[in-house]
Amino acid sequence: MASPDTISAAPLADDIHVSVAGLTMAYDDFVVQRELDFKVSHGEIFIIMGGSGCGKSTLLRHLIGLKPPRAGHVFFDGQDLWEAPSGERHRMLLKMGILYQSGALWSAMTLAENIALTLSAHTKLSPREIAELVSLKLALVGLAGFEDFYPAEISGGMQKRAALARAVALDPEILFFDEPSAGLDPISARRLDDLILHLSQSLGCTAIIVTHDLASILEIGTNSIFLDTDAKTIIAQGPPRDLLRHTDHPTVRNFLSRGQLPDNGPINPAAIPVPPIAPLTEETDPA
């Protein structure tokens, strides 16, 4: 098998948060991706890229404990997720925060109730402590004062931020996002990126993000892999901006340049339009 186009320095071993080794993923007889090998360091914003249907969401499912590997291993801080006893695996899963594509807030519950549900299910905090923590988490995502709103009463961008507040309710060590900016206008998408970046940094989290959004990939990604549908494995890995400049793989070049740039020769990232990030305010949400 050809080795993927790798552009990065190897991280220090004790800095590695997630390690995926020889992972093959399949639904019955249909192999989605095979022999995936990559590492994610602590604090990284790691992007999973690839065309539609290549297996990005499936990979997330293997990382968050929803689907067991056909072969291979997923390690968190050196501990094998799928080989761990169920109690230990449960503890590992509690360190994860997840933001699904749809946001997936309960529509019949207020924002406060949505977040409180996670806290009351997994902590022994009193109702008063939970209420305080809920307000703190909402403030973290720029939604102070929106406790009693229902999801349908706020914009799409605000719903994503509320879902993010719920994802960080238990102070996760690692956050997973599947297409976080899907369905948002470009400005709201940039503000969500900005929030993901600041939240990950302030909480000291690692973030693993599935996205097609080129601006996000280039702006916030510190490292990445590119999954290919035809090769059924990783065809490139490294910091996205470095891949954009240096990769020779036509599929990856095409993806990162949206087919706007020549098939060979150096690419200037400045040629990719990346809109400026609007400041985050509570009063004006454009979404």
DSSP string, 229-246: TTTTEEEEES-HHHHHHH
Give the x/- contact pattern for ligand ATP in 9-48, rule: CB under 6 A.
------------------x----x----------------
Q: How far is the CB of 232 from ligand ATP (least distance, A)?
A: 10
Return the residue of 6, 8, 41, 57 that touches ligand ATP, per CB under 6 A.
57
52 binds ligand ATP (CB under 6 A): yes
155 binds Mg ion (CB under 5 A): no
**Which CB sits closer to ligand ATP, 32 or 207?**
32
Closest CA to 57 of 210, 192, 203: 210
Distance CA 120, CA 123 (A): 6
Q: H-type helices in the chain, by residue range? A: 56-63, 86-94, 111-122, 127-140, 156-167, 186-203, 214-220, 240-246, 250-257
57 binds Mg ion (CB under 5 A): yes
The entry of ligand ATP, Mg ion, none that residue 106 binds, CB within 5 to 8 Å by partner kind:
none
Closest CA to 74 of 88, 58, 63: 63
The entry of Mg ion, ligand ATP, none that residue 254 binds, CB within 5 to 8 Å by partner kind:
none
229 binds Mg ion (CB under 5 A): no
Query: Contacts with Mg ion: how many residues (CB under 5 A)?
Result: 1
**Which CB sits closer to ligand ATP, 10 or 30?**
30
58 binds Mg ion (CB under 5 A): no
Distance CA 136, CA 144 (A): 8
Distance CA 155, CA 228 (A): 34
Instruction: Using the rule CB under 6 A, give the single segment among 37-45, 56-64, 141-149, 163-171 that binds ligand ATP.
Output: 56-64
Q: Tokens 């994503």 appear where?
A: 160
- State the amino acid at position 264 in one-letter form: N
Q: Which residues contact 4 (CB under 8 A, 6 or more apart)?
A: 225, 226, 233, 234, 235, 236, 237
64 binds ligand ATP (CB under 6 A): no
Chain contacts with Mg ion (rule: CB under 5 A): 57
Chain contacts with ligand ATP (rule: CB under 6 A): 27, 32, 50, 52-58
